[in-house]
Amino acid sequence: QYSSVLYSIVDLHSITQPQDPDQLRNNILDMAASLLACGVDPERAILFQQSQVSEHSELSFFLLVLLSQRFLQVKSKQKNEGSVGLYTYPVLQAADILLYKSTHVPVGEDQVQHLELAQDLARIFNYCYGDVFPEARALLSSTRKVKSLRDPSAKMSKSDRQAMATISITDSPDDIALKIRRAVTDFTSEVTFDPETRPGVSNLVTIHAAMATITVQEAVSRAKGLDTGAYKALVSEAVIQRLTPIREEFQRLRADRAHLQNLLELGNRRARELAAPVLAEVRHRVGFS
């Protein structure tokens, strides 16, 4: 239903933390293979590498100069530590959105405030230079945040230092079963959904519902008569069934490095074709041309 759908591998954002260059190159291809394995169709969508579309960085600076330091402090989660890039990356995120005049952006709950910054910057730029950017709307799925298996007060994150906290699409069935079996729950055996008082069990219900493509209520219904130990086995089965074909497709794609690089280069060209006229319009409105 959208004229263009874009998936960006945001490698510029990654270097706000120290990166090993060889590992970064591999991570970029891993992400490309992951997105393709999960169903992104490069014939219908644009899959590209952010750093290869220089308009992202240039638009980011145009937006950065519109903000006061105090305004960015309110929007940023970062403390007074780390690189300046960690402090200003929400502006680059806004540029990622506005550069394509995006109308809708799929986000998790923790990213809503960054989308709000993009909306703010669209309004500020339009006020200063005339209407250029639409205000993108958030697309929130029913599974907006999956929590850590070891600490259900925190989100599941690939950067978590605890390997048992996160399920990866490349995990083996045995690894998935082990991680879910050791997931933090509580001392009540019945399975219910109450994120406030039973975050661990509720997180498993959320995962089960997402993997089985059912509602939370249906997941709880399927758990009737099971204690949490037996329910973990049911959740494991659903996750393994959903992720196994994805893992196998990832491995197939990842074995052909040249194919992935060619797909990304094609996506980079298509993204530049969309980005270049927008940045040209921005430069003209600002007075550079």
Torsion of CA 53, 90, 107, 121, to 10 degrees: -90
CA–CA separation, 179 and 161 (whole Å): 14
Instruction: Look up 155 and say whether it is catalytic.
Output: yes
Catalytically annotated residue among 77, 101, 145, 155: 155
CA–CA separation, 231 and 221 (whole Å): 11
Torsion of CA 163, 106, 74, 154, to 10 degrees: -30
Bridge partners (DSSP) listed for residue 139: 106
Token pair 């690939």 is found at 158
Give residues with Cβ within 8 angstroms of 91, minimum separation 6.
Answer: 60, 63, 64, 67, 72, 117, 121
For 81, other C-beta atoms within 10 Å of its C-beta total 7
Instruction: Look up 77 and say whether it is catalytic.
Output: no
Buried b (16+ CB within 10 A) or exposed e, 130-156: eebbebbeeeeeeeeebbbbbebeebb
| The pairing of beta strand 46-49 with beta strand 137-139 | unpaired
Catalytically annotated residue among 158, 179, 224, 232: 158
CA–CA separation, 183 and 200 (whole Å): 8
Instruction: Look up 232 and say whether it is catalytic.
Output: no
Residue 116: alpha-carbon gap to chain centroid: 16
Give residues with Cβ within 8 angstroms of 183, minimum separation 6.
Answer: 149, 150, 200, 203, 204, 232
Distances (CA, A) of 283 to 58, 65, 88, 93, 277: 10, 14, 21, 19, 10
Q: List the catalytic residues.
A: 79, 155, 158
